[in-house]
């Protein structure tokens, strides 16, 4: 049930014609309490969609009563009309739910730069229709409604000692870090306050969504939201809650990676023995964004030279002639020179593991990415048609 697995939440997913396919395209998730705690992290892209601008202000008081999400239109670069659409959506939801519009977050996903009266009308219709269909079983429908180019919904639930966390996510392209990746809604019935929610969410996204770098393209609409109802009546140890939240975020991030547009390999880049975590992240990301490396993996070519060339562009502390590189368990490079034969590396499986040993410290980091394929280029060349 994803977001309605924890107690105190209702959700719905409805179709109002935003998608040409006729599939669900507006989702509503409502926190029935008794707590109405909320926290969110947003894209760091300076080009922000209208829902991001709204939600960044609305969440500042740590109270979130509901969230309305639409697919089929990003409502980004749509001027004052677009912001008015976001405002009216929150007002509509607030009116129907009997809550303040300022406690309603808004998310949108789809094509940038499009929006008219028909779009606004459908979003408002979907908000009304969704609220009318709210139920404790509506989490699955909501997870379907937020999909765009996704081939499948992403859901995750963990249950602990009397409390739980549930989540849903959408994302298949424009997956790059910057506090959050695409649209994610997470709910919990644990008793936590706004400060704890914010701290735990930022810690969890830092090592999950912020480490997903599928194609190096940062969206204008990225948002991860956490809502806490306290309906379980249980106050967990903060470390236990933070760990469970990190597990949900990591699971959803992996699902996003596995559904990346056109990908044929899911690449896990593990950097070990770095001087600092920042260095490990920088090195891993340099490889994740290297098109030559990603194209080589698509061609099942264990071209480790492209790995060293990529990490050599970073400011991380290491000696490029004292680095080891492993591909799917085979050490192809030892201390900056050839080791095992490339013929020993099997890159046929979708799961691909790259291990980079910098041999200078004790810090590690893992970055998730995908290969660069013909299908990815084709899908994104025709996205707006």
Which region among 140-154, 161-175, 309-323 has the lowest average model confidence (pLDDT)? 161-175
What residues does each domain of the chain span? 2-258, 266-381
What pLDDT score does 383 carry? 58
Decide if pLDDT at 176 tops 60. no
* The domain over range 266-381 is classified in CATH as 3.90.600.10: no
Average pLDDT over residues 348-368: 97
* Banded pLDDT at 27 (limits 50, 70, 90): very high
What pLDDT score does 180 carry? 46
pLDDT digits (tens, 9 = 90+) for 291-319: 999 999 999 999 999 999 999 999 999 99
pLDDT digits (tens, 9 = 90+) for 60-118: 999 999 999 999 999 999 989 999 999 999 999 999 999 999 999 999 998 888 888 99
Buried b (16+ CB within 10 A) or exposed e, 373-382: beebeeebee
| Cα–Cα distance list, 222 to 185, 217, 249 (Å) | 11, 11, 14
Average pLDDT over residues 181-209: 94
Average pLDDT over residues 116-136: 96
The position carrying tokens 């739910």 is: 97
Decide if pLDDT at 20 tops 60. yes
Decide if pLDDT at 175 tops 70. no
What pLDDT score does 381 carry? 67
3-class secondary-structure state, position 10:
strand
Average pLDDT over residues 122-134: 98
| Gap between the Cα atoms of 172 and 379, Å rounded | 11
Most confident of 118-127, 148-157, 375-384: 118-127
Average pLDDT over residues 273-277: 98
What pLDDT score does 181 carry? 53
pLDDT digits (tens, 9 = 90+) for 241-269: 999 999 999 999 999 998 877 789 999 99
Mean pLDDT (the chain) is 93
* Banded pLDDT at 232 (limits 50, 70, 90): very high
* The domain over range 2-258 is classified in CATH as 3.60.70.12: yes
Catalytic residue of the set 43, 85, 181, 373: 181
Average pLDDT over residues 139-146: 97
The position carrying tokens 């990603």 is: 294
Decide if pLDDT at 130 tops 70. yes
| Gap between the Cα atoms of 170 and 259, Å rounded | 10
Decide if pLDDT at 177 tops 50. no
Decide if pLDDT at 355 tops 50. yes
140 class by beta-carbon count within 10 Å (0-12 exposed, 13-18 middle, 19+ buried): middle
Decide if pLDDT at 173 tops 80. no
181 is catalytic: yes
- For residue 184, the cross-strand partners are 169, 224
What pLDDT score does 261 carry? 76
What pLDDT score does 263 carry? 86
Give 149 or 181, the one with higher predicted confidence: 149
Q: Are 297 and 265 in contact (CB under 8 A)?
A: yes
Decide if pLDDT at 178 tops 70. no
Total-model pTM: 0.92
């Amino acid at each position: 049930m994803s977001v309605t697995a924890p107690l105190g939440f209702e959700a719905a997913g409805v179709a109002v014609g935003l998608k040409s396919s006729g599939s669900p395209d507006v989702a509503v998730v409502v926190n029935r309490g008794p707590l109405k705690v909320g926290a969110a992290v947003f894209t760091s892209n300076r080009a922000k969609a209208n829902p991001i601008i709204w939600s960044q202000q609305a969440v500042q008081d740590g109270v979130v009563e509901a969230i309305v999400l639409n697919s089929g239109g990003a409502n980004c670069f749509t001027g004052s009309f677009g912001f008015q659409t976001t405002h009216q959506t929150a007002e509509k939801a607030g009116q129907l739910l009997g809550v303040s519009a300022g406690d309603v977050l808004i998310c949108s996903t789809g094509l940038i730069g499009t929006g008219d009266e028909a779009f606004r009308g459908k979003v408002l219709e979907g908000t009304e229709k969704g609220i009318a269909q709210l139920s404790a079983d509506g989490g699955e429908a909501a997870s379907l409604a937020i999909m765009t180019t996704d081939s499948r919904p992403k859901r995750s639930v963990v249950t602990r000692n009397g409390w739980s966390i549930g989540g849903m996510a959408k994302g298949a392209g424009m997956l790059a870090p910057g506090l959050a990746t695409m649209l994610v809604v997470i709910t919990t019935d644990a008793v936590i306050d706004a400060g704890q929610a914010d701290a735990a969410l930022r810690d969890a996204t830092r090592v999950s969504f912020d480490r997903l770098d599928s194609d190096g393209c940062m969206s204008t609409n990225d948002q991860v939201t956490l809502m806490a109802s306290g309906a379980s009546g249980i106050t967990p140890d903060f470390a236990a809650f933070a760990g469970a939240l990190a597990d949900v975020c990591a699971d959803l991030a992996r699902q996003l990676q596995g559904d990346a547009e056109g990908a044929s390999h899911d690449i896990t880049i593990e950097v070990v023995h770095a001087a600092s975590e920042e260095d490990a992240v920088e090195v891993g990301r340099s490889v994740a964004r290297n098109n030559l490396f990603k194209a080589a993996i698509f061609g099942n070519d264990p071209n480790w030279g492209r790995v060293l060339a990529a990490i050599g562009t970073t400011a991380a502390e290491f000696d490029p002639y004292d680095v080891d590189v492993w591909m799917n368990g085979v050490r192809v490079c030892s201390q900056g020179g050839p080791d095992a034969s490339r013929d020993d590396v099997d890159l046929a499986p979708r799961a691909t593991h790259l291990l980079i040993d910098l041999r200078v410290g004790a810090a590690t980091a893992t970055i998730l990415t995908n290969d660069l394929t013909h299908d990815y280029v084709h899908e994104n060349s025709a996205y707006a048609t």
